[in-house]
Structure 1
Amino acid sequence: MELGVFSLSDIYPGSPDTAASRIDDIISFGVLAEQHGLDVFGIGEHHTRAFAVSSPAVMHAAIARATSKITLTTTSTILTVLDPVRLYQDFATLNLISHGRAEIGAGRSAFAEPFSLFGENMAEYDQLFAEKLDLLLRLRDEEQVTWSGRYRPALDAAEANPRHEGDLPVWVAVGGTPSSAVRAGRLGLPMVALDP
């Protein structure tokens, strides 16, 4: 059994916190989590000013340099609005920086804001997620990827670099729908259950 703690990076209304102060706090929390013997530290991804962190990989890179054992994961990376190639590269880099401690919790998002910000159609969020998860897993598992889909340009013998070191676990972040849990099971992927 592993024990861990997660931060959504919220900035409460009326609090004196700023994005900068919350980021400093969250990095400190990651370091403290390892010092107190926890196994996992997770950070959520959000794209509104009510939250401090839009790039968990960048945050975890800072934590990775100040820790040596704790697993660094995302409570939900919003795969539906991100390019799987860039996401893979960011977390493969984090995996190298942390010497194999990176994980991705891939989710669809419970908020509408990222879809308009990144120009994706929220009405197609399940199709977006399925296609992008397929590509992310291919990039993780294959040295060269030839792939085509509906939501991003095709790849022809593409080599996404850097290559990760050791394992790069991808979890399915499951919130409000049973179909997400079914998808994780069908793909043989672990899942993290989030409060819908």
Structure 2
Amino acid sequence: MPQSIEFGLDTFGDVTRGPDGELLSHARVLRNVVEQGVAADRLGLDFFGIGEHHRAEFAVSSPEVVLAAIAARTERIHLGSAVTVLSSDDPVRVFQRFAELDGLSNGRAEIILGRGSFTESFPLFGYDLSQYQELFEEKLALFAALITQEPVTWSGRLRPALTEQLVYPPVEHGRLRTWVGVGGSPESVVRAAHYGLPLVLAIIGGSPARFAPLAELYRKALAQFGKDPQPVAIHSPGHIADTDEQALDELWPNYRTIMDSIGRERGWGPITREHFADEAGPHGALYAGSPETVAQKMAGAIRAIGAARFDLKFSNGTLPHELMMRSIELYATKVVPRVRELLEDDAG
């Protein structure tokens, strides 16, 4: 178990409902996301991550723009993507944007690179979905070279080559902290280890214990590749209220909205309240309930994975901003201290 555990928050900038029950504008949601990030900093959390999407249900298509707005109003919290869809972007431009964020935030920028679970960005930016795997592998190789901040000589099949190319602006102090986000495939885990990059496990369904073998595979692969040990983080959804019943009642209709919307596209049946309750139960991936319930479940997941960070995805469908702000407050003031206490009891 890592000596020091970090606690963060993630959001996709889900389009939410206002007090009148109507959906807010994307612009209003963006402003609310900034307020959420500012609150996370004020409450002493370690990380605030924003995901990239290109569809109606989510307001954020360029996380680094919103993160820059948060950086201007915060002091200490680290700010990053969750995730950046590297496959449909250019690694050089991605590095430049996050290097600028790092400069603006005085060294607080991070990036989580991934392939993304949605595919809208591929046709939008002119990429062929048949090259889904190859695009990510090639671009991750280039990004891994860029973060060394040495002159880059690189060639691939899908992007023009670089020869002794320096990229500006440089990161001011050290390297840009770069993670790889994965959804559960062994190949993705080994790929992250190959480059010696920290790993984020997106655990969005089922028991976190199912992912423990992947975390172990990652650590073994790091050693086999001769890389230094790296942290493993957990990303999972959740919502916190004063009681279990309140948290589930607040979350359910909003969670159902987004899950059914996605499910219609992917051929899933409508989500049931029973399935929702199972995921919110002791062995599911949904961290919804009172502070004590969520803390106990988080501590169990951190133990199972040997995680160094836990990022709670606090935005869930149309869940209103005011309820998310209360969830953030409870997470920072009640859940995080309790998880630290539980883990300290283990160590003692």
What corresponds to 2:214 in structure 1?
Answer: none
**C-alpha deviation, 1:16, in angstroms:** 2.3
What corresponds to 2:15 in structure 1?
Answer: 11
Which amino acid in structure 1 is aligned with residue 13 of structure 2?
Answer: S
- The residue correspondences of 1:163-182 to structure 2 (distance < 5 A) are 163-166=170-173, 167-182=175-190
Superposed CA offset, 1:9-66 (max 9, x none): 1115874211111100000001000111101000000011221001111111111110
1-structure distance, mates of 2:85, 2:16: 22
Which amino acid in structure 2 is aligned with residue 103 of structure 1?
Answer: E
**1:95/1:30 CA distance change after superposition, 3 Å:** same
Is 1:126 matched with 2:133?
A: yes
Secondary structure of residue in 2 paired with 1:103: strand
Secondary structure of residue in 2 paired with 1:130: helix
Name which of 50, 74, 84 aligns with 1:67: 74
Which amino acid in structure 1 is aligned with residue 10 of structure 2?
Answer: F
**Long gaps (5+) in structure 1:** none
Q: Which has the higher helix share?
A: 2
Name which of 169, 189, 200 aligns with 1:192: 200
Is 1:90 matched with 2:97?
A: yes
Report the structure number with the largest CA radius of gyration.
2
Which amino acid in structure 2 is aligned with residue 97 of structure 1?
Answer: L
Which amino acid in structure 1 is aligned with residue 25 of structure 2?
Answer: T
Contact persistence 2:149–2:170 (CA under 8 A)? no
**C-alpha deviation, 1:76, in angstroms:** 0.8
Which amino acid in structure 2 is aligned with residue 193 of structure 1?
Answer: L
Q: Which moved more, 1:93-102 or 1:168-177?
A: 168-177
Which amino acid in structure 1 is aligned with residue 74 of structure 2?
Answer: T
Is 1:30 matched with 2:34?
A: no
Secondary structure of residue in 2 paired with 1:9: coil
Residue-pair matches, total = 196
Name which of 160, 183, 186 aligns with 2:191: 183
Name which of 156, 166, 183 aligns with 2:163: 156
What corresponds to 2:119 in structure 1?
Answer: 112
2-structure distance, mates of 1:34, 1:105: 19
2-structure distance, mates of 1:30, 1:49: 22
TM-score (ref. length: structure 2): 0.54
2-structure distance, mates of 1:57, 1:172: 17
- Please provide the CA RMSD for this pair: 1.5
TM-score (ref. length: structure 1): 0.95
2-structure distance, mates of 1:15, 1:181: 41
Which amino acid in structure 2 is aligned with residue 69 of structure 1?
Answer: R
1-structure distance, mates of 2:192, 2:29: 32
> After the TM superposition, which segments of 4 or more aligned residues of structure 1 sit over 4 Å from their partners?
none
2-structure distance, mates of 1:192, 1:26: 22
2-structure distance, mates of 1:179, 1:143: 28
**Percent identity for Structure 1 against Structure 2:** 47
What corresponds to 1:46 in structure 2?
Answer: 53
What corresponds to 1:102 in structure 2?
Answer: 109
Secondary structure of residue in 1 paired with 2:71: helix
Secondary structure of residue in 1 paired with 2:83: strand
Secondary structure of residue in 2 paired with 1:3: strand
Which amino acid in structure 2 is aligned with residue 6 of structure 1?
Answer: D
Secondary structure of residue in 2 paired with 1:146: strand
